Amino acid sequence: MSVDHLSRRPQALPDHRSGLWRLWLGPLTAMIDAAMVAGLVYIVSFAYFLSANGRPGVDRATPELAAMLATLFVFVNLMRRRYQIANYLSTRGQMRSAFAVWNITVVVFLILLFLAKIADHYSRAVMVATYFSGIPVMALSRSAVVRLIAAGSRAGRITAERAFLIGREANIMSFVSRHKPWHMGFAVTDVAFLQSSREAGGAALASDLAAAVASCRLKRPDAVFIALPWSDQETISACVDAFMNLPVAIHLAPEPIMERFANAHVVHTGTLSSLRLTRQPLSTGEVAAKRAFDIVAASCGIILALPLLLMIALLIRLDSPGPVLFRQRRYGFNQQAFRIFKFRTMTTVDDGKVIVQAKRNDPRITRLGHLLRRYNLDELPQLLNVVAGDMSLVGPRPHALAHDIEFERKIANYARRHNVKPGITGWAQVNGFRGETDTDEKMAGRVAYDHWYIDNWSFWLDITILIRTVLSRKAFANAR
């Protein structure tokens, strides 16, 4: 049965044209990369030569530099197996991958220059300008190529792999409707419905599988997808045994639970193989690196900001009665409670079971408090929490215990934001999710950004957030 009977799939190209695309798309993308790198070198060299000499032209070493960088860039991509259609069907991670390959290319090139003792042969200005201009060029070029290939795949014009589906009708229909395999570069060659199971009768199942194998051998797909519940081990084993004798890759179609986890993959530990749905947010080394940076940066921040801290403390004393510092219980890493330090900006210091969030034009906010909150200056004492180890410079912003308890009842996986240390600033804050969360939708949006941060943490992401905290308008939006 054709997959066209299962869904409104776009009409694919004839098989021979699809095969040509699969054969030539890798070399074509490699040639695009090589031309892009070589063209970049020539443009940079031309611009430098024009500015240095006042006339058009390029340095005599330009052809050699262009050839070496282009060759290395393509070679690194080949070693990382980037020239496969499957890598061009989603924009996810493409810019990060292109940046990594470009860095590796330049580092290897510099090592070769050092070993060959020919560094003086090339213009340092051209090499430096080529590297820095290459970062956005590589990222944008890769993104454009991916969008073109992904669009061609969704329209059925480009096929990454030809797939044969086997399973019970309900399971196949569910798999097709959930994943729409043609959107991911698959051309479904045929579908075999199993009418029986091994428990129901071995002879009947053997007959179904024999017919499926015969059809699969005739269609000559690249892969077979077994769409059965993973609990049906007997039938799955029978399908695997039947298709092992065909020159195809055999896949077990994913269970619905895997759709919740974008990075699920098989992990091998000795003789044990397991499907890991999530990993620890940070490895031991990453935790140590993040902690070391926090201690150094927060300590330096306290020393440099000490005059400002003392001045703000004095102004708070003069502005309104009450303590200079506001201490409130918050949840930290693994939901361990701690007391956060902030400059007092309100006439009240609530820390009970009911805490009313600050609103725009809140009469409880002092005159000085408006200014401190507007520019995030009330958060500065939290540098002490960072040095003490209760917080990090970057992480999900901690909320009052009363609010945590309330939102944990309303928002699924809310408490997952406590899987890392809370931060003075965070990904949600630099994207405008700051201030009052007077609706569940606002808090859900903030939590979604916090979860994204946990799933995509890197040292450079923390640096980016710190920079945006100071320079981005969104980081100061919605201040109360």
* Beta strand spans in 277-430 (E): 325-331, 337-343, 392-394, 423-425
pLDDT of residue 71: 92
Number of domains observed in the structure of the chain: 3
pLDDT of residue 10: 40
The answer to whether residue 124 sits within a structural domain is yes
CB 37 within 8 A of CB 73: yes
Neighbouring C-beta atoms of residue 29, cutoff 10 Å: 22
CATH value at residue 248:
3.40.50.2300
pTM: 0.61
- Asked if residue 176 and residue 141 are part of one domain, the reply reads no
Domain boundary among 248, 276, 304: 276
- Asked if residue 465 and residue 337 are part of one domain, the reply reads yes
pLDDT of residue 145: 80
The contacts of residue 67 (CB under 8 Å, 6+ apart) are 38
**If residue 224 lies in a helix (H) or strand (E), which one and from where to where?**
strand 223-227
- Asked if residue 312 and residue 413 are part of one domain, the reply reads yes
- Asked if residue 180 and residue 46 are part of one domain, the reply reads no
- Asked if residue 288 and residue 267 are part of one domain, the reply reads no
Distances (CA, A) of 367 to 2, 70, 345, 373, 476: 71, 61, 8, 10, 18
Which among 474, 270, 453, 442 has a CA at the least distance from the CA of 357? 442
- Asked if residue 186 and residue 102 are part of one domain, the reply reads no
The answer to whether residue 314 sits within a structural domain is yes
The answer to whether residue 263 sits within a structural domain is yes
**If residue 47 lies in a helix (H) or strand (E), which one and from where to where?**
helix 15-53
The dihedral region occupied by 361, where left means phi > 0, alpha psi between -120 and 50, and beta the remainder, is left
Which among 297, 316, 312, 458 has a CA at the least distance from the CA of 383? 297
Look at residue 188 and give its three-state secondary structure.
strand
The answer to whether residue 5 sits within a structural domain is no
The answer to whether residue 4 sits within a structural domain is no
- Asked if residue 436 and residue 399 are part of one domain, the reply reads yes
Alpha-carbon distance of 464 to 176, in angstroms, equals: 39
CB 61 within 8 A of CB 109: no
In the chain, which stretches have pLDDT less than 50? Answer: 1-5, 7-16
What is the DSSP code string of 290-334?
Answer: HHHHHHHHHHHHHHHHHHHHHHHHHHHHHHSSS-SEEEEEEE-GG
The answer to whether residue 380 sits within a structural domain is yes
pLDDT of residue 476: 59
Look at residue 368 and give its three-state secondary structure.
helix
- Asked if residue 23 and residue 119 are part of one domain, the reply reads yes
- Asked if residue 306 and residue 455 are part of one domain, the reply reads yes
Which structural domain range is residue 133 located in? 15-154
pLDDT of residue 13: 40
Alpha-carbon distance of 158 to 94, in angstroms, equals: 19
* Beta strand spans in 208-301 (E): 223-227, 249-252, 265-269, 272-276
DSSP summary character for residue 80: T
The answer to whether residue 369 sits within a structural domain is yes
- Asked if residue 363 and residue 429 are part of one domain, the reply reads yes
pLDDT of residue 14: 45
- Asked if residue 299 and residue 247 are part of one domain, the reply reads no
Domain boundary among 251, 276, 301: 276
- Asked if residue 40 and residue 172 are part of one domain, the reply reads no
CB 266 within 8 A of CB 274: yes
The answer to whether residue 97 sits within a structural domain is yes
